[in-house]
Structure 1
Amino acid sequence: MLEEIGSIIKYHRQKSGLTQLELATLAGIGKAAVYDMEHKTKSTRMDTLIKVLKVLNIDVKFASPLMKAYEEQKREESEDIRPK
């Protein structure tokens, strides 16, 4: 899975016409961090990954057998918080 994330980032970066340095600059991170993500040479902090995904306009979706129940619970909780 981690290799696939790196591959997805590299694909989107290249299709966007960005160099690793340009992507790093736009995301506010170092060029080495982009290289490491694309080549899975080191683990990446979640906040760094999110910065890169935002620049590349990549949306992350969580999927599990429990997601529908989780989303329903969050919806109910938000309705309980609303002023009446």
Structure 2
Amino acid sequence: MAQLIRTPKQLGVVIRNAHARSGLTQQALADLVGTGQKTVSRIENGHDGTRMDTLFAIIAALDMDLQLGPRSKGGKDISEIF
């Protein structure tokens, strides 16, 4: 199921949910992608500053794809824009 993601926090929630479904611990996921458990935790908690290669490795390890599309601007809520 595709999900709209516009913030690091939203991305972290999606990764956390996929990680929980995977049955892997944060440490096991970190080991798979060659990073530390603390890095996985920071991503799942929405902290910015993550290296793109680390993020892509985590997405791949969780058997997910990243897709980009045009932004919808029909909503009135500012949170939908940013």
The alignment's TM-score, normalised by the length of structure 1, stands at: 0.71
Task: Identify the structure with the greater helix proportion.
Answer: 1
Match of 1:33 in 2: 39
Q: CA deviation at 1:8?
A: 0.6
Match of 2:12 in 1: 6
Aligned partner of residue 24 in structure 1, secondary structure: helix
The alignment's TM-score, normalised by the length of structure 2, stands at: 0.73
Aligned length: 65
Q: Percent sequence identity over matched residues?
A: 34
Q: CA deviation at 1:42?
A: 4.4
With a CA cutoff of 8 Å and minimum separation of 6, indicate the structure with the bigger relative contact order: 2
Across the aligned residues of Structure 1 and Structure 2, the Cα RMSD in angstroms comes to 1.3
Structure whose alpha-carbon radius of gyration is higher: 1
Is contact 2:32-2:61 (8 Å) kept?
yes
Unmatched tracts of structure 1, length 5 or more: 66-84
Map 1:47-66 → 2, pairs under 5 A: 47-64=53-70
